Amino acid sequence: MKLRDIAELLDAQFITGEDQADREVTSAFAADLLSDVLAMVKDEGVLLITGMTTPQVVRVAEVMNMGAVLFVRGKLPTASTVAYASGTGIPLLATRRIMFETCGALYQGGLDPARRKHFPVDHGTPDERGS
- Neighbour tally for 18: CB within 10 Å: 14
Angle separating helix axes 3-10 and 99-108, nearest 10 degrees: 120
**pTM for this predicted structure:** 0.88
**Mean pLDDT taken over the chain:** 91
pLDDT band, very low/low/confident/very high, at 129 (cuts 50, 70, 90)? very low
| pLDDT 10s digits, 69-128 | 999 999 999 999 999 999 999 999 999 999 999 999 999 999 999 987 766 565 555 555
b vs e for 46-60, b when ≥16 Cβ sit within 10 Å of the residue's Cβ?
A: bbbbbebbebebbbb
pLDDT band, very low/low/confident/very high, at 19 (cuts 50, 70, 90)? very high
Task: Give percent of the chain with pLDDT exceeding 90.
Answer: 80
Q: Which domain CATH number covers 72?
A: 3.40.1390.20
Q: State residue 124's pLDDT score.
A: 58
Q: How many domains does the chain have?
A: 1
Task: Flag whether 122 is in a domain.
Answer: no
Beta bridge partners of 84: none
Task: Flag whether 42 is in a domain.
Answer: yes
